C-alpha cells in the first residue's frame, strides 16, 4: 500500500479513512477552507465533530494551505468535497495533483446545461480541466452512510472509471472484509444513478411526512411510501437512459435510494414538506446544512423541462419529479399526483 491523500474532510471522505488506514495505507486528510473546525479537533484527539466518530490514531491531518505537502508522494487522491465544492476543487486542486496520480471522487451530483443536458461531475471536470492539466478520474457510488462505514457495517458500493485495471488497483487500497466494491466502466450510469437518488429520496420521504402529519392513526402507511419508492425507481430508470447511462445501473439507484430514505438530510427535506412546512421554513430548520437533494432535484427538473421543450422527453413521464420541483421552487404544497402515475405500458415485446 502507499500514500492516499483525501481532500475534503467531510463525513464520507473521513469515513473512508477507516478502510484505507486499516489496509496499511498512509492516510492524509486535508480540510477544505470550510473544514477548519473539523481539522482542529481531529488534530487534538482524532474525533470528527460532524461524523461523530473517532478516526484511527496515525492519520495525518492537514489544512488547505498545506495541501501540497499532503500531496507529496501520494499515489492516489480522493476528492471528498460536497457538490457545492465542485468548482473549487476544479479550479484550485486539480492543478496541484502530481502527474499520473489518479483521483477518485465521492462527490455526488450533476450539472444541467441550458439545453437540458445533464452532466455527471467526472464528465464536467474532464471537460473543464484547467489548461495543461491531465488527471485520470474515477468515482464512487452506492448505498453507504458514512457512520455505518465508520462502524464497520458491511457496505456494498461500486467504483467506476474507464480503465478497469487501474480501477482494480484503486480498489485494492479500499477493499476490506466489511467494505465491498463492485467495478464498472459506466461512469455516467453509476454517477447519474447515485446523484438522482438524492432528489428522489426527497420525493419518497414526502410520504413519511404525510404519515407524520396524520399522527398515530393506527395505519402503517407502508403502501404510500413504497408507492413513491416505486415511482422513483421508474423515473430514475427512464432518466438513466436519457443521460446515456446503462439502465442496469438502476441497482445502485434503488439501493442508494433505500439507504437515503432511511435517514439523512435528503429525507428530512421531503419529510418536512410532507408535514406541511414551506421551503423557507425548512431552510431555517436545516440552516447550515448543505441540501444537495434540493439542488439535484431542481437541476433534474429544469433539464427535463428544457428537453421537453424541444420534444426530447415528456414532462408527464416524470410526475413525481415535477411535483417535487413545484414544492421546492414554486411554493406548492405536497399533493402527490397519484393519478399521473397510472401509466399504460404496452411493451411486453422488448
Catalytic center residues? 197
The answer to whether 323 contacts a copy of itself (rule: CB under 8 A) is no
133 versus 222: smaller Cβ distance to a copy of itself: 222
Nearest to 5 by CA among 25, 33, 35: 25
Angle between helices 292-309 and 319-329 (to 10 degrees): 120
**Cβ atoms of 78 and 138 closer than 8 Å:** no
Q: Which of 247, 278, 298, 326 binds a copy of itself (CB under 8 A)?
A: 247
List, in order, residues 6 or more apart from 288 with CB less than 8 Å away.
Answer: none
Q: Which of 74, 188, 243, 294 binds a copy of itself (CB under 8 A)?
A: 188
Kindly give the pairing relationship between strand 53-54 and strand 47-48: antiparallel
- Is 265 annotated in a binding site? The answer is yes
Cβ neighbours of residue 114 closer than 8 Å, sequence gap 6 or more: 306
Closest CB to a copy of itself among residues 229, 272:
229
* Cβ 102 vs Cβ 77: under 8 Å: yes
Is 126 a residue that touches a copy of itself (CB under 8 A)? no
Q: In the complex with a copy of itself, which residue's Cβ is closer, 5 or 17?
A: 17
Exactly one of 41, 128, 180, 302 binds a copy of itself (CB under 8 A); that residue is 180
By CB under 8 A, residue 14 contacts a copy of itself: no
147 binds a copy of itself (CB under 8 A): yes
User: Is 303 marked as binding a ligand?
Assistant: no
Residues 104, 122: Cα–Cα separation, whole Å: 9
Q: Which of 84, 88, 124, 341 binds a copy of itself (CB under 8 A)?
A: 341
Asked if 143 touches a copy of itself (CB under 8 A), the answer is: yes
Angle between helices 222-243 and 250-261 (to 10 degrees): 140
Q: Which stretch binds a copy of itself (CB under 8 A): 37-45, 67-75, 186-194, 294-302?
A: 186-194
And the C-alpha cell for 251? 441497482
Q: Which x/- pattern, by CB under 8 A, does the window 259-298 give for a copy of itself?
A: x--xx-----------------------------------
Regarding 256 and contact with a copy of itself (CB under 8 A), the answer is yes
Per rule CB under 8 A, is residue 154 in the interface with a copy of itself?
Answer: yes
CA nearest to 296, candidates 87, 153, 84, 129: 84
Largest CA distance in the chain: 63
Conformation bin of residue 82: beta by default, left when phi > 0, alpha when psi is -120 to 50: beta
Residues 213-242 that bind a copy of itself (CB under 8 A): 218-227, 229-231, 233-234, 237
Of residues 47 and 156, the one with the C-beta less far from a copy of itself: 156
Q: Which of 33, 26, 23, 28 is nearest to 43 (CA)?
A: 28
Residue 151's contacts (CB-CB under 8 Å, 6 or more residues apart) are: 53
Annotated binding site for NAD(+): 146, 265
For binding to a copy of itself (CB under 8 A), which residues are involved? 142-145, 147-149, 151, 153-156, 162, 164, 168, 175, 180-189, 207, 218-227, 229-231, 233-234, 237, 246-248, 250-252, 254-256, 258-259, 262-263, 336, 338-339, 341-348, 350
Amino acid at each position: 500500500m502507499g500514500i492516499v491523500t483525501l481532500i475534503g474532510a467531510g463525513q464520507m471522505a473521513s469515513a473512508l479513512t477507516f478502510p484505507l488506514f486499516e489496509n496499511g495505507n498512509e492516510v492524509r486528510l486535508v480540510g477544505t477552507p470550510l473544514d477548519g473546525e473539523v481539522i482542529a479537533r481531529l488534530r487534538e484527539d482524532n474525533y470528527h465533530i460532524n461524523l461523530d466518530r473517532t478516526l484511527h490514531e496515525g492519520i495525518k491531518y492537514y489544512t488547505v494551505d498545506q495541501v501540497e505537502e499532503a500531496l507529496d508522494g501520494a499515489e492516489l487522491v480522493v476528492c471528498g468535497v460536497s457538490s457545492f465544492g465542485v468548482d473549487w476543487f476544479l479550479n484550485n486542486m486539480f492543478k496541484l495533483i502530481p502527474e499520473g496520480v489518479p483521483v477518485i471522487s465521492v462527490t455526488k451530483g450533476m450539472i444541467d446545461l441550458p439545453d437540458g443536458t445533464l452532466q455527471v461531475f467526472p464528465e464536467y471536470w474532464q471537460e473543464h480541466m484547467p489548461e495543461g492539466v491531465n488527471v485520470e478520474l474515477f468515482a464512487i457510488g452506492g448505498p453507504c452512510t458514512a457512520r455505518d462505514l465508520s462502524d464497520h457495517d458491511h457496505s456494498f458500493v461500486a467504483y467506476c472509471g474507464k480503465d478497469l485495471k487501474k480501477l482494480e488497483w484503486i480498489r485494492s487500497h479500499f477493499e476490506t472484509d466489511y467494505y465491498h466494491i463492485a467495478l464498472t466502466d459506466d461512469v455516467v450510469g453509476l454517477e447519474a444513478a447515485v446523484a438522482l437518488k438524492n432528489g428522489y429520496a426527497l420525493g419518497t420521504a414526502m410520504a413519511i411526512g404525510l404519515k407524520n402529519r396524520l399522527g398515530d392513526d393506527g395505519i402503517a402507511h407502508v403502501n404510500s411510501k413504497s408507492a413513491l419508492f416505486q415511482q422513483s425507481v421508474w423515473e430514475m430508470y427512464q432518466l438513466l437512459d436519457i443521460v446515456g447511462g446503462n439502465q442496469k445501473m438502476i441497482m445502485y439507484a434503488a439501493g442508494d435510494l433505500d439507504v437515503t430514505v432511511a435517514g439523512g438530510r435528503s429525507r428530512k427535506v421531503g419529510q418536512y414538506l410532507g408535514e406541511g412546512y414551506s421551503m423557507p421554513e425548512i431552510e431555517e430548520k436545516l440552516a447550515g446544512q448543505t441540501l444537495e437533494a434540493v439542488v439535484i432535484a431542481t437541476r433534474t427538473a429544469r433539464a427535463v423541462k428544457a428537453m421537453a421543450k424541444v420534444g426530447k422527453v415528456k414532462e408527464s413521464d416524470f410526475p413525481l419529479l415535477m411535483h417535487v420541483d413545484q414544492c421546492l421552487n414554486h411554493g406548492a404544497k405536497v399533493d402527490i399526483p397519484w393519478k399521473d402515475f397510472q401509466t399504460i405500458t404496452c411493451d411486453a415485446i422488448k
